[in-house]
Structure 1
Amino acid sequence: MAQTKTGQCMCGAVRFTATNVPDTFGVCHCDMCRRWTGSALFGVSVAQSDLTWEGEAHIKTLQSSDWAERAWCQRCGTSLYYHVTVDGPMSAKVEIPLGVFDDPNGFTLNREIFIDQKPDSYDLAGDHERLTKAEVMAKFGVQL
């Protein structure tokens, strides 16, 4: 069920309102997401057209791979979104970290990606899709 959610960075310099937010989230275990978040990226896919930002002057982006960029608040360092920049099924959306929503409740895990890069020190419970790096790259048309 789609919903409207608000959120912000740690210092409050950047705020957002997202409409049509799904009630599901995915987890990425890739090396870059682990370094960017300090664990895994627990992200909610939101269409860019469904997002409004306040404090955009404080948003810094980095092209972190040949196909994607990451954004954060340059004042406090809070991770704000991951965005696929190459044309394809994901380029119209951003992945918003679950933790930056003002109310992160009511979401259900539906997918883990880069499962073959997940550390062996934890496992996420439940019956949901689990894709390897090769499966993710093939699905989104990225050449290895």
Structure 2
Amino acid sequence: MASAGHTVKGHCLCGAVAFSADVAKLEVDACHCSMCRRWAGGPFIALSCDGELRITGKDHLATYRSSEWGERSFCQTCGTSLFWHLVGTDHYALSANTLDDQSGLVLTSQIFIDEKPGFYEFANDTPKLTGVEVVAAFEASKGGES
């Protein structure tokens, strides 16, 4: 469970699915992997959540297992990309663009930087991790399971 910090709320475009979660920090990461870009229509900018994700409208929620370690959930009514989940853990990456209140969010890192296409560049000077570095961190967080 996340330490005391901030409660965030969000919802999909049509409002059929809503969520709330407690997060430790208002720091967001940008994922440039090809799957996230295809799923979200651009870099997936996400807020980390470790703990309970409270969801209403679960009957409108669809989940797609996109890799051996990750699954993506979206509203099956309007198609909004809502969150990514690290399978076997309580770690979620909540779409920052679905949050009701985006004030206070700060971009702190970029991941899968080696998959970022050359046609855009963020102005923020953040730490950048390659796909190999990110997958190694995922594996470490799951205790070496795959």
TM over 0.5: yes
Scaled by the length of structure 2, what TM-score is found? 0.87
Query: Residues 5 and 21 of structure 1 are in contact (CA less than 8 Å); yes or no, is this contact kept in structure 2?
Result: no
Query: Residues 22 and 51 of structure 2 are in contact (CA less than 8 Å); yes or no, is this contact kept in structure 1?
Result: no
- Corresponding residue of 1:130: 128
- Taking the aligned partners of 2:86 and 2:66, their CA distance within structure 1 comes to 10
Give the Å deviation of 1:47.
2.1
Counterpart check, 1:115 vs 2:117? no
- Corresponding residue of 2:13: 10
Q: Percent of aligned pairs with the same residue?
A: 40
Counterpart check, 1:28 vs 2:26? no
1:27-106 equivalences in 2 (<5 Å): 27-49=30-52, 51-86=53-88, 91-106=89-104
For structure 2, list consecutive stretches of 5 or more residues without a partner in the other structure: none
- Corresponding residue of 2:22: 19
Cα deviation code 1:31-86 (max 9, x no counterpart): 1000000101000011241x211111111101111111000011111111101114
Matched positions, count: 139
Scaled by the length of structure 1, what TM-score is found? 0.88
Query: Residues 23 and 48 of structure 2 are in contact (CA less than 8 Å); yes or no, is this contact kept in structure 1?
Result: no
Counterpart residue identity of residue 32, structure 1 = M
Classify the secondary structure of the residue corresponding to 1:134: helix
Classify the secondary structure of the residue corresponding to 1:46: strand
Give the Å deviation of 1:22.
1.7
For structure 1, list consecutive stretches of 5 or more residues without a partner in the other structure: none
Classify the secondary structure of the residue corresponding to 1:106: coil
Counterpart residue identity of residue 64, structure 2 = L
Give the ranges of 4+ consecutive aligned residues of structure 1 lying more than 6 Å apart after TM superposition: none
- Corresponding residue of 1:140: 138
Give the Å deviation of 1:21.
4.9
